[in-house]
Amino acid sequence: MTTPVLGIIGTGMVGAGAARLATDAGLDVVLSNSRGPQTLTGLVAALGRRARAATTAEAAQAADIVLVAVPLSAHERLPRAELTGKIVIDPTNYVPTPQWRSPELDSDELTSSELVQRHLAGSQVVKALHNIGPRHLLDLHRPAGADRTALPVHGDDEAAKKAVADLFDVLGFDTVDLGPLSGSWRSEPNTPLYAFPYVGEPPAGLSVPELVGWVQGAPGVPVPAARVTELAAAAVRGPAGFQF
Ligand X SMILES: NC(=O)c1ccc[n+]([C@@H]2O[C@H](COP(=O)([O-])OP(=O)(O)OC[C@H]3O[C@@H](n4cnc5c(N)ncnc54)[C@H](OP(=O)(O)O)[C@@H]3O)[C@@H](O)[C@H]2O)c1
Give me the 28-67 binding string for ligand X, x by CB under 6 A, dash otherwise.
----xxxx--------------------x-----------
C-beta closer to ligand X: residue 165 or 195: 195
C-beta closer to ligand X: residue 172 or 241: 241
CB of residue 132 to ligand X, shortest distance in Å: 6
CA angle at residue 226 from 4 to 239, to 5 degrees?
A: 85
**Residue 84 CB neighbour total at 10 angstroms:** 12
C-beta closer to ligand X: residue 34 or 41: 34
Distance between CA atoms of 66 and 53, rounded to whole angstroms?
A: 14
Which ranges of 125-207 does DSSP label H, i.e. alpha helix?
A: 134-140, 158-171
Containing 151, the helix (H) or strand (E) segment is: strand 150-155
Interface with ligand X (CB under 6 A), residue from 71, 202, 222, 239: 71
**Residue 211 CB neighbour total at 10 angstroms:** 15
Q: Which residues ranging from 186 to 225 are in contact with ligand X (CB under 6 A)?
A: none
The residue range among 20-28, 88-96, 119-127, 222-230 that interacts with ligand X, by the rule CB under 6 A, is 88-96
**φ, ψ dihedrals at 67, nearest 5°:** -90, 125
CB of residue 212 to ligand X, shortest distance in Å: 9
C-beta closer to ligand X: residue 56 or 124: 56
4 binds ligand X per the rule CB under 6 A: no
Distance between CA atoms of 169 and 185, rounded to whole angstroms?
A: 24
Containing 158, the helix (H) or strand (E) segment is: helix 158-171
Q: Which residues ranging from 111 to 140 are in contact with ligand X (CB under 6 A)?
A: 130, 133-134
91 binds ligand X per the rule CB under 6 A: yes
Interface with ligand X (CB under 6 A), residue from 3, 55, 61, 93: 93
Containing 65, the helix (H) or strand (E) segment is: strand 65-68
Q: Hey, is 177 helix, strand or coil?
A: strand
Interface with ligand X (CB under 6 A), residue from 11, 102, 117, 175: 11
The residue range among 13-21, 163-171, 196-204, 233-241 that interacts with ligand X, by the rule CB under 6 A, is 13-21
Q: Hey, is 213 helix, strand or coil?
A: helix
CB of residue 12 to ligand X, shortest distance in Å: 2
92 binds ligand X per the rule CB under 6 A: yes
Distance between CA atoms of 137 and 173, rounded to whole angstroms?
A: 9
Distance between CA atoms of 176 and 12, rounded to whole angstroms?
A: 26
Site of interaction with ligand X (CB under 6 A): 9-15, 32-35, 56, 69-72, 74, 77, 91-93, 130, 133-134
